[in-house]
Amino acid sequence: MLTDIEIARSVKLRNIADVAGEMGIAPDQLEIYGHYMAKVPVKYIDKGKMSRHHLVLVTAISPTKAGNGKTTVSVGLALGMNRLGKKTIVALREPSLGPCFGMKGGAAGGGYAQVLPMDKINLHFTGDFHAITTANNMISALLDNYIHQHEGEGFRLKQKLWRRVLDINDRSLRQVITGLGGPGNGPISQTGFDITPASEIMAIMCLATSIDDLHRRIENILLGFTYDDKPFTVKDLGVAGSITVLLKDAFDPNLVQTTEGTPAFVHCGPFANIAHGCNSVVATEMALTLGDYVVTEAGFGADLGAEKFYNIKCRKTGLHPDLTVLVVTAQALKMHGGVDYEVIKKPNVEGVRRGLWNLDKHVRNIKRFGQSIVVAFNHYSFDTPEEIAVVRDHCINDLGVGFAVNDAFSQGGEGAASLARAVVDAVEHNPSGPLRLSYEDSDSIEHKIEAIAMGIYGAGKVTCDAPARAMLKRIYSLGLGHYPVCIAKTQYSFSTDAKAYGNTDGYDFQVRDLVIDRGAEMIVVIAGNILRMPGLPKSPQACRIDLVGGEIMGLS
Amino acid sequence: MLTDIEIARSVKLRNIADVAGEMGIAPDQLEIYGHYMAKVPVKYIDKGKMSRHHLVLVTAISPTKAGNGKTTVSVGLALGMNRLGKKTIVALREPSLGPCFGMKGGAAGGGYAQVLPMDKINLHFTGDFHAITTANNMISALLDNYIHQHEGEGFRLKQKLWRRVLDINDRSLRQVITGLGGPGNGPISQTGFDITPASEIMAIMCLATSIDDLHRRIENILLGFTYDDKPFTVKDLGVAGSITVLLKDAFDPNLVQTTEGTPAFVHCGPFANIAHGCNSVVATEMALTLGDYVVTEAGFGADLGAEKFYNIKCRKTGLHPDLTVLVVTAQALKMHGGVDYEVIKKPNVEGVRRGLWNLDKHVRNIKRFGQSIVVAFNHYSFDTPEEIAVVRDHCINDLGVGFAVNDAFSQGGEGAASLARAVVDAVEHNPSGPLRLSYEDSDSIEHKIEAIAMGIYGAGKVTCDAPARAMLKRIYSLGLGHYPVCIAKTQYSFSTDAKAYGNTDGYDFQVRDLVIDRGAEMIVVIAGNILRMPGLPKSPQACRIDLVGGEIMGLS
C-alpha cells in the first residue's frame, strides 16, 4: 500500500471554493489560502439550523504510542455516511508540529481516510498555531516589560503564573530562568515553556463563541498576583485589544476536504492529555450548521478527551452528541492485555481477550454520560479474523453495544460502509438520552476532581500536593470554584503512571498542581508526572522528513 | 489627514490574481492567501529578462527613532514612475511584529504610499516569519535533544553557538538558562533569544537563490564545536531536509499591491542594524524579471543597509543598482544638527543647515560605491519652504547630486511626480558606473571590518574584544576568511554609541563578538552595545492596537 503522503498526493483535489459552494457559501465570503484551504467567517454559524442536525463523537480506548487511528476512523465514518446519502461533515483538531517532527507523526488521518492537503495541514496550515504562539508570548513580553518599566514605582508580582509556549517538542525549555544579564534585561524569573496546544490561548480559542467573547476571555486571563494578593490580568496590562487583533483571523474555522472531496473543518484543540483536546466550538457549530451529520473527535482515550468533551465543551455550549463511537484496535487491546509492545502487531487472540477490560471500562464510563455507543474496530492489515471475532462477540453479546469494522484506511469510504450504517441506524433508532455530566458547576473543585479521578479513572483516593492546596485557596478566594476541571494526565493508563498498564483500580490520584485558566474558565489539574512540554525521541521524525525533487517525504 | 489604517481601508483593492495577471502570471500558478496576497513561485525568475531592466536602491541618511519614511518614499517613487508610464515594481522587506507592537510601528509605508493590505502585512502576513521562527527553534530543540540523547555515548559540545528566536521584542529573553529541573530536561545551557529578523535562517532565506541552495545553506549552518574542536552542523544533526520542508512555502516571494493597485513584492529581511536588512534575492530577482524598473530599499541609514546591500547582496548575486536614492528628512537633519528630539518638528532652518554634515557623509560614502545619487526630500506637513530650500540648494550646488521633494505620503503617486522624473532622468542619462565594493573576498576579516568601520563609518581605529579574537581564529581555521562581513551596529550614529549624534569621526570601533553564519555565508560583527533582541518601551504600541467593531485600530 502507498504511504499516507503518496496517497495524499495521488488524490485530485477539488478547488476549496467548490467545496464551500456546495454548502451555500459564496467564494467571496471565504478567506482562501492556496487552492485547497479556506477560512469560513464565524458569522455563518446558525443556531437554528444546528439544532436540526446530528452530532457524533468519536473517541477511543486507551491508546498505544501510535494512537488508535481515531482521526482516520472519524474521516472514514464521514466518508461512509456521505456514501449513504447523509450530508456529513467531519470536524477535527489541528495537528501540532511537536509530534509531527517528534514521535507520533501528523494528525490528518491516514491511508484513504485523510484530510487534505495533509502536508499543509500538518505543517503551518493557515497559521493558527503560530498566531496562538505569538499571542501567548506577546503577553509574556508585555508582562515582563510592564514589571521592568514599573518596578521603579514599586510594582512587583508576588507570583507570576504566565508561561511562554512554542509548538515544538523541546524538553530543555520546560524549566528556564529568564531575564539574566543585568537589570536592563530584567526581571529575573524562574519560568518555562509549554507546548502551544497547552496554552490557555488555545483553550480560549476552542471555547470562545464569538470575537467579543474571545476579547472578554483574553481580558480575564490571570497573569499573576501582586504583593497585596490582587489578581493581575491582561486587562490590567491594557493589551487585550491587540492580543485579540493577533488572533482575529485564526479564530475563523478552517475548511479543507477529505480524500473523497467532502468538506472537513480542522480547527485548534489537540492534546487531550495536557489540554481539553477538542476542536473549537465555532468549528463544531459551523459544521453542525452546514451538515446534516457532524462527526467530531476528542483526543486520546475516552477517559481524557471524551470526558472533557462532555464535561467542558458540552457543558459550556449545550452541544450534545447523538452517539459516541468508541474506536478500538487489536494492538491496543493486546497492550492492555499485557502483551509486550514490540509484538503487539503479531496475532494473539488471547492477548486481545485479556485486554478487553480496557474496552469495558471505557464503555461503562461513556454509558454513565447517557451515551449510546457503537464500537468501531479500526482494522490493520495484520489483524486476524479471530481477533476481530473476539471483539465483535464481546461487544454484541456481553456489552450490548453496536459494533462495526472500519476499513477506511485501506478502502476509503467504501471500507466504512458497515460502520456508517451502524452509526446512522443508532442515531435514528437508538440515540443517546440527555447528557448526564459528572458534576454540577456548584460542586467544589475537590468534588469535581474526585468525580473524574474516582468515578471515571477508578482511583481509590485523591491526594493534593502543597502547590495544589495553595492554589485551591486562590481559586476560592477569587470566586472561581464554579469552573469545570480539565485534568492533565498521561494517556497511557487510567492511573497517573504512564507505565502502569493493566487494571489500576484503587490507585492514589496525585494532584501536583492546579492552574487557573480564567480566560478559558476552567481549572487545569496537573496529575502525576504529566509534562506540558513533550520531549523528542532519540530518532525523531525530523530526521526522516525531507524534500526530494520538490516533493515532501516522510510526513505521516 | 486620515491615519494610515484609515487610508488603507479606504482603498478599493484589486484582486491579487488581476495584479499578477497583468504581469503575465496565470492565477493557477499563484498560491493565494485571501483575496489580496499571493506567493509567486520562484520558477518565474528569468535572468535574461532581469538583465534588461533597471534597479533603483532607496536608502536614507541616519534616521530618527521614527525612521525617515524610506518605505513610503520607495512606494511613492514606484507610484510616480508608473504614472510616467514606466512599468515599476516595488520590492520591500517584511515588517516584524516586534516594532509593530513596540515603538517604531509597522513597515508597510504610510499615508497614500502604502503596500496593502497593511494590516495583514504588518501582522502575520503569509506566515513567513513564523516559518523562520519555527525552523530556527526546531533546530534548537533537535540540537539539545541530540546532546541529551547522545551524552551517554560521550557526545558533548564544547561551545554551543545556536540561539533561539521569537519575532517579539522581549528583553527578558536576551540571556536565559535552559534545561533546568534535572537530567530529564537537559542539557543545561546558558543561551538566549534574538528577534527573528536576526536569525541566520532569515539571512539564508534572503540570500538563497533556489530551494536547492536553501537546502545546501541549511546543511552548512554551524551549531557549535565538539570537544575535539570539530564543527557540528545541521547536516551532522541530519535534519536539513525537514528544516527545508518547514521553509519551502515561505521561500516564494509575496505579491501584494500599492495604494494605487500596482504590484509590490514584500519578502523577508528587515533590521539592517542587526541583520543585512535587505529583502530576499529571489523577490528582487522576481521583480526585476517582471518590471522594467524595480525600486527596492535597504534598512536604516546608508551606512547600514546600503553598505550591506552593495557589499553582501550585490556581491553575492551580481545585482547592481542603476541609481541610489537617498532619503532625507528635515527632522533627521535637525537631530544631527544638535536640535533636541522633542522639538525637531518645529521650524528651524539653522538646525537643518547644521545637520547637513550627515547628508554629506552618506553622499560621499555612496559615491565611493560608484553610484549615481538622487536625494529625495521626504516632505512632512510641518516642514517649511525655507528648510526645503536649504537642502535643495546644498544638493544641487554644493554636492552636485539630483534632488526632488517627495509628497507621496499626502498625495500618492502624484506627489512623487518630480522625484520619479528625476530618477528616470538619472537612470537614462546619468546611471551609476560599475559597482565598486569596499573590499575583496580575499581580504582578511580584519581588513574587511576596517574597510567599513574606518572607510564608511569614519572610525579612527578598530579594537577587538577577547570573544571576537577567539572567534577570528575559528573563522580562519575553518577556512571562512573569504566571507563578507555584516556589521551589527546602532542605526542612530556613525559610531557604535546610540547616543552619539553629531560628527564622531576618529572614534574607536569596538568589535565585541563575531558570529559565523556559515549558512548565510557571512560573518556577523557585533559592534558596541547593539542588542540582537530589542526591548519594549514603557508605553508600547500594543496598548493602542485594538479591535473596534471588527476593525483594527492603532496599526501604523
What is the rounded radius of gyration, in angstroms, for the C-alpha atoms of chain A? 23
Q: Position of cell 492477548?
A: A351
CB A413 within 8 A of CB A83: yes
> In chain A, what residues touch B123 (CB-CB under 8 Å)?
245-246, 249
- Would you state the pLDDT for residue A271? 93
The H or E element containing residue A247 is helix A240-247
Q: From CA B404, how far away is CA A372, in angstroms rounded?
A: 78
Q: Contact A172/B185, CB-based, under 8 Å?
A: yes
Instruction: Please identify among residues 224-263 of chain A the ones whose CB lies closer than 8 Å to any CB of chain B.
Output: 238-239, 241-246, 248-249
The CATH 3.30.1510.10 domain(s) of chain A lie at 129-247
- Would you state the pLDDT for residue B542? 96
Q: Contact A177/B177, CB-based, under 8 Å?
A: yes
Task: Select the residue of A101, A174, A249 nearest B185 (Cβ to Cβ).
Answer: A174
- Give strand ranges (E) for B382-529: 402-406, 461-464, 485-488, 508-517, 522-527
Q: From CA B367, how far away is CA B361, in angstroms rounded?
A: 10
> In chain B, what residues touch A33 (CB-CB under 8 Å)?
32-34
Q: Mutation test of the interface with chain B: which of A28, A172, A173, A193, choosing the one with the most B Cβ atoms within 10 A? A: A172
Q: Contact A547/B245, CB-based, under 8 Å?
A: yes
Q: From CA A224, how far away is CA B530, in angstroms rounded?
A: 32
**In angstroms, what separates the C-alpha of B281 from chain A's closest C-alpha?**
20
Is the preceding peptide bond at A117 cis, omega within 30 degrees of 0? yes
Q: Does A547 touch chain B (CB under 8 A)?
A: yes
Task: Give the torsion sign (CA, A387, A392, A395, A398).
Answer: negative
Q: Give the chain A residue nearest B119 (alpha carbons).
A: A245
The H or E element containing residue A223 is strand A222-226
Q: Contact A242/B141, CB-based, under 8 Å?
A: no
> Which amino acid type is present at position B336?
H
Task: Select the residue of B138, B540, B550 nearest A542 (Cβ to Cβ).
Answer: B138
* Region B4-126+250-429: CATH code: 3.40.50.300
Mean pLDDT of B250-261: 98
**β-bridge mates for residue A404, sequence order:** A376
Neighbours of A487 (CB within 10 A): 28
CB B513 within 8 A of CB B471: yes
Give this prediction's pTM.
0.97
* Region B129-238: CATH code: 3.30.1510.10
Task: Select the residue of B142, B176, B187 nearest A542 (Cβ to Cβ).
Answer: B142
Mean pLDDT of B544-555: 92
Q: Position of cell 545553506?
A: B217
CB A93 within 8 A of CB A269: yes
Instruction: Please identify among residues 170-199 of chain B the ones whose CB lies closer than 8 Å to any CB of chain A.
Output: 170-181, 184-187, 189-190, 192
Instruction: Please identify among residues 133-172 of chain B the ones whose CB lies closer than 8 Å to any CB of chain A.
Output: 133-134, 137-138, 140-142, 144-145, 148-149, 166-172
Q: Is A60 helix (H, G, I), strand (E, B) or coil?
A: strand
Q: From CA A361, how far away is CA A375, in angstroms rounded?
A: 13
Q: Contact B145/A171, CB-based, under 8 Å?
A: yes
pLDDT in tens, B465-523: 999 999 999 999 999 999 999 999 999 999 999 988 888 999 999 999 999 999 999 99
B1 compared with A93, residue with greater pLDDT? A93
CB A462 within 8 A of CB A447: no
* Residues in CB range of A326: below 8 A, 6 or more apart: A59, A60, A61, A302, A359, A362, A363, A366, A373, A374, A375, A376, A401
The CATH 3.10.410.10 domain(s) of chain B lie at 445-527
Q: Does A545 touch chain B (CB under 8 A)?
A: yes
Q: Contact A124/B134, CB-based, under 8 Å?
A: yes
Is the preceding peptide bond at B117 cis, omega within 30 degrees of 0? yes
> In chain A, what residues touch B538 (CB-CB under 8 Å)?
149
**In angstroms, what separates the C-alpha of A264 from chain B's closest C-alpha?**
19
> In chain A, what residues touch B548 (CB-CB under 8 Å)?
241
**In angstroms, what separates the C-alpha of A486 from chain B's closest C-alpha?**
25
The CATH 3.40.50.300 domain(s) of chain B lie at 4-126+250-429
Characterize A299-331 residue by residue with b for buried, 16 or more Cβ atoms within 10 angstroms of its Cβ, and e for exposed.
Answer: bbbbbbbbbbbbbbbbbbeebbbbbbbbbbbbb
Task: Select the residue of A97, A172, A541 nearest B189 (Cβ to Cβ).
Answer: A172
Q: From CA B277, how far away is CA B269, in angstroms rounded?
A: 5
pLDDT at B534 over 80: yes
CB A25 within 8 A of CB A262: no
Q: Give the chain A residue nearest B148 (alpha carbons).
A: A538
Q: Give the chain B residue nearest A40 (alpha carbons).
A: B34
- Quick one: DSSP state of residue A298? B
Report the DSSP pairing between strands B461-464 and A508-517.
unpaired
Instruction: Please identify among residues 370-389 of chain A the ones whose CB lies closer than 8 Å to any CB of chain B.
Output: none
Overall CATH class of domain A129-247? alpha beta
Q: From CA A292, how far away is CA A122, in angstroms rounded?
A: 28
Q: Mutation test of the interface with chain B: which of A28, A33, A171, A545, choosing the one with the most B Cβ atoms within 10 A? A: A171
> In chain B, what residues touch A31 (CB-CB under 8 Å)?
34-35
Q: Contact A546/B242, CB-based, under 8 Å?
A: yes
- Would you state the pLDDT for residue B500? 86
Q: Contact A171/B178, CB-based, under 8 Å?
A: no
Q: How many CB pairs under 8 A join A and B?
A: 232
* Region B445-527: CATH code: 3.10.410.10
Taking alpha carbons only, the member of A292, A323, A432 closest to residue A370 is A432
Q: From CA B218, how far away is CA B215, in angstroms rounded?
A: 5
Q: Contact A137/B215, CB-based, under 8 Å?
A: no
Q: Give the chain B residue nearest A17 (alpha carbons).
A: B34
Mean pLDDT of B353-365: 97
Q: From CA A61, how far away is CA A68, in angstroms rounded?
A: 8
Task: Select the residue of B172, B187, B543 nearest A238 (Cβ to Cβ).
Answer: B543
Q: Is A185 helix (H, G, I), strand (E, B) or coil?
A: helix
pLDDT in tens, chain A (556 residues): 899 999 999 999 999 999 999 999 998 999 999 999 999 999 999 999 999 999 999 999 999 988 899 999 999 999 999 999 999 999 999 999 999 999 877 889 999 999 999 999 999 999 999 999 999 999 999 999 999 999 999 999 999 999 999 999 999 999 999 999 999 998 999 999 999 999 999 999 999 999 999 999 999 999 999 999 999 999 999 999 999 999 999 999 999 999 999 999 999 999 999 999 999 999 999 999 999 999 999 999 999 999 999 999 999 999 999 999 999 999 999 999 999 999 999 999 999 999 999 999 999 999 999 999 999 999 999 999 999 999 999 999 999 999 999 999 999 999 999 999 999 999 999 999 999 999 999 999 999 999 999 999 999 999 999 999 999 999 999 999 999 999 999 999 999 999 887 889 999 999 999 999 999 999 999 999 999 999 999 999 999 999 998 899 998 8
Task: Select the residue of A149, A187, A536 nearest B141 (Cβ to Cβ).
Answer: A536
Q: Mutation test of the interface with chain A: which of B172, B210, B532, choosing the one with the most A Cβ atoms within 10 A? A: B172
CB B449 within 8 A of CB B487: yes
pLDDT band, residue B378 (cuts 50/70/90): very high
pLDDT band, residue B459 (cuts 50/70/90): very high
> In chain B, what residues touch A37 (CB-CB under 8 Å)?
none
CB A510 within 8 A of CB A528: yes
pLDDT at B287 over 90: yes
What is the rounded radius of gyration, in angstroms, for the C-alpha atoms of chain B? 23
Taking alpha carbons only, the member of B121, B203, B138 closest to residue B523 is B203
Q: From CA A376, how far away is CA A379, in angstroms rounded?
A: 9
- Give strand ranges (E) for A358-496: 373-378, 402-406, 461-464, 485-488
* Residues in CB range of A491: below 8 A, 6 or more apart: A62, A63, A272, A273, A299, A300, A301, A304
* Region A43-98+262-429: CATH code: 3.40.50.300
- Give strand ranges (E) for A351-413: 373-378, 402-406
Q: Contact B137/A168, CB-based, under 8 Å?
A: yes
Taking alpha carbons only, the member of B336, B207, B210 closest to residue B278 is B207
ipTM of the prediction? 0.96
Q: Give the chain A residue nearest B176 (alpha carbons).
A: A178
Instruction: Please identify among residues 50-109 of chain A the ones whose CB lies closer than 8 Å to any CB of chain B.
Output: 97, 101
Give the Å distances, CA to CA, from B238 to A172, A313, A540, B65, B367. 20, 42, 10, 43, 46
Q: From CA A216, how far away is CA A473, in angstroms rounded?
A: 25
**In angstroms, what separates the C-alpha of B238 from chain A's closest C-alpha?**
6
The H or E element containing residue A324 is strand A323-328
> In chain B, what residues touch A179 (CB-CB under 8 Å)?
171-172, 175-176
**In angstroms, what separates the C-alpha of B127 from chain A's closest C-alpha?**
6
Q: Give the chain B residue nearest A28 (alpha carbons).
A: B35
CB B253 within 8 A of CB B265: yes
Q: Does A35 touch chain B (CB under 8 A)?
A: yes
- Quick one: DSSP state of residue B371? -
Q: Mutation test of the interface with chain B: which of A124, A153, A194, A548, choosing the one with the most B Cβ atoms within 10 A? A: A124
Alpha-helical segments (H) within A94-127: 97-101, 118-122
Q: Does B32 touch chain A (CB under 8 A)?
A: yes
pLDDT band, residue B416 (cuts 50/70/90): very high
Q: Give the chain B residue nearest A151 (alpha carbons).
A: B538
Average confidence score pLDDT of chain B: 96
Task: Select the residue of B148, B180, B215 nearest A177 (Cβ to Cβ).
Answer: B180
